[in-house]
């Protein structure tokens, strides 16, 4: 449950925090022809979510091997 909570907190920070709440603070940083806040709202949160999925899969497979419950 701890790893799920950490992953969800990271995703919430990136999608809601950087894309909406902190957007005025990071809007002056250009990335890819647009500001960083817009990029996080449009693509950054999606890419972060995909990275978290792969990390979660890797971590759970590692735990399965550790406790000898892998397939």
Q: What's the whole-model pTM score?
A: 0.81
Q: Summarize pLDDT for 25-69 with one digit per residue, the tens.
A: 888 889 888 888 888 888 888 999 999 999 999 999 999 999 989
Listed in sequence order, the residues at least 6 apart from 29 whose beta carbon sits closer than 8 Å to its beta carbon are 35, 36
| Rg for the chain, CA atoms, rounded | 16
Predicted confidence (pLDDT) per residue in 7-26, tens digit? 999 999 988 888 889 888 88
Domain ranges of the chain: 2-66
Q: In 13-66, where does DSSP find H-type helix?
A: 23-26, 36-39, 45-66
d(C-alpha 11, C-alpha 48), whole Å: 7
């Amino acid at each position: 449950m701890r790893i799920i909570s950490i992953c969800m907190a990271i995703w919430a920070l990136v999608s809601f925090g950087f894309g909406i709440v902190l957007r005025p603070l990071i809007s002056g940083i250009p990335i890819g022809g647009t500001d960083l806040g817009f990029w996080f709202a449009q693509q950054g949160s999606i890419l972060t979510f995909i990275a978290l999925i792969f990390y979660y899969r890797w971590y759970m497979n590692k735990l399965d091997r550790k406790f000898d419950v892998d397939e």
